[in-house]
Structure 1
């Protein structure tokens, strides 16, 4: 199938050269800011190699989800579309946040316009609701089918959905401890709540008795949506739909829902472990500090 896709659409449509340039530029800027340029930032410290790897991995998934082949093929098959959503919403934001040092995050956030609006949405409940409502609305059939054939609407919604995902992950990860409003127990509850709110959208897709998206069942709508991903004024003949559907439409839809739910559980489970590890480490540090105080106390009597 890949050979057929590459022969049909070409390098520019599949690989988005301008997005490659953008991703490389962001990587170079990050490496400069965390390397030779870090003296320009307040409280800057040396950045561990593992953080740089996480950030660059986040940029890789950023390219894969928004500019690479996944983006185009996601307009051909619904299951691939859900993999693209996983990459761009469940992997990119946490990897970029975890890969950014605290001093760099402070410098970037303090320069963001509309900080008061952002400050409201960084509260736990608004952050969780914003992302999950936007994600669920996106997968309502009538909204999904409209956005897939309306490039401007689709691009705008994708941008705001990505921002919502970033805000949600910021709340869960709490990368700047002094800005954190939640205890570790509250963050654990937040992750569970997030997983519960994402379930209805996945259940709608998995347990539907028939394909629900006209984008993948109507050849004309399918061809229109795919044409919007191609450079220039290229069009796709509707009859090509039969050549690019290796799975039954209902099977493809259910596979997409299962992939989203399974990967979401794996990612959220990983962050439950991350938060628990932070919790244990903080408790240990507090115990050690208390022990030191007790040991030094007699000297001051």
Structure 2
């Protein structure tokens, strides 16, 4: 299939050079401002290598999902579309948020006047409902087919959806320590809540008895949407449909729903494990501090001769 893709689509269509250059510039600026240029930002602190690796990985996955081959291939098959959704909205945001130091983010929020809106939108209940509502709305058949065949509206909605995914992940991976007020069981419940709210959309796709999306079942609509994906690069022949859809459209649709649910469970499960062990670690440290405090208070004072 990859040979067919490289034969029918140019390098720029697959790799989006301008998007790639923009990603490399962002990574370069991040490395410099967390390294040699860190002194230019007030109250800056050293950034551990794990956070740097997380941000760089998030930026790379962001490029792959929105500018690399995955973006184009997601227009060929619905199952790949759901892989792209999982990468862009469930994997990239926590990597970027974990890798962004709070001291870097504070001046940007303060200068743009975003403090109050961010505080309101990142309240757990608001963040939980906002992303899952927008994600489900995006995959409502009429909305989905409309967006996939209208370039400007599609890009605008993807931007909104990505911002909402950052908001959704914020309570779990808050980059500003003093704003991180959700701990332990609250974070565990929040993760479970996300899994529950995303399930209906996946179930609708998995158990549908007919095709929901004209974009992936009608060759004419498919070719038009693909032409828009190529950055308004012209129409694509509907005859290519049979070459790039190796399975029945309904099977591809069901597979897409399964992929989304499985990838969601894997990512949420990994975050859940991290949150749980961090919680256990904090509780142990508290217990150790309490034991040491009790021992020091009961220890007899040394008398001076």
Does the TM-score normalized on the shorter chain lie above 0.5?
yes
Aligned partners of 1:285 and 1:101: how far apart in 2? 24
* Cα shift readout 1:151-177 (whole Å, capped 9, x = no counterpart): 111001000000000011011223333
Aligned position for 1:277: 277
TM-score, reference length from structure 1: 0.95
Aligned position for 1:216: 216
User: Number of residues paired by the alignment?
Assistant: 301
How do 1:104-119 residues align onto structure 2 when only pairs under 5 Å count? 104-119=104-119
Unaligned runs of 5+ in 1: none
Aligned partners of 1:25 and 1:241: how far apart in 2? 36
Aligned position for 1:66: 66
**Change beyond 3 A, Cα 1:280–1:107:** farther
**Change beyond 3 A, Cα 1:16–1:113:** farther
Q: Choose 1 or 2 for highest CA Rg.
A: 2
TM-score, reference length from structure 2: 0.94
The question of 1:11 aligning with 2:11 is answered yes
Q: Which moved more, 1:132-141 or 1:169-178?
A: 169-178
The question of 1:93 aligning with 2:93 is answered yes
Q: What is the DSSP-based 3-state SS (H/G/I as helix, E as strand, rest coil) of the residue aligned with 2:171?
A: helix
Q: Which moved more, 1:197-206 or 1:229-238?
A: 229-238
Aligned position for 2:199: 199
Aligned partners of 1:235 and 1:156: how far apart in 2? 22
**Change beyond 3 A, Cα 1:3–1:165:** same
Whether contact under 8 Å (2:98, 2:174) holds in the other structure is no
Aligned position for 1:229: 229
Q: Which moved more, 1:38-47 or 1:184-193?
A: 38-47
Aligned partners of 1:101 and 1:115: how far apart in 2? 16
Deviation at residue 232 of structure 1 after TM alignment: 4.9
Aligned partners of 2:40 and 2:300: how far apart in 1? 43
The question of 1:290 aligning with 2:251 is answered no
Aligned position for 1:247: 247
Aligned partners of 2:106 and 2:62: how far apart in 1? 22
Deviation at residue 298 of structure 1 after TM alignment: 5.0
Q: Which moved more, 1:229-238 or 1:90-99?
A: 229-238
**Change beyond 3 A, Cα 1:195–1:112:** farther
Unaligned runs of 5+ in 2: none
Query: What is the alpha-carbon root mean square deviation over aligned residues?
Result: 1.6
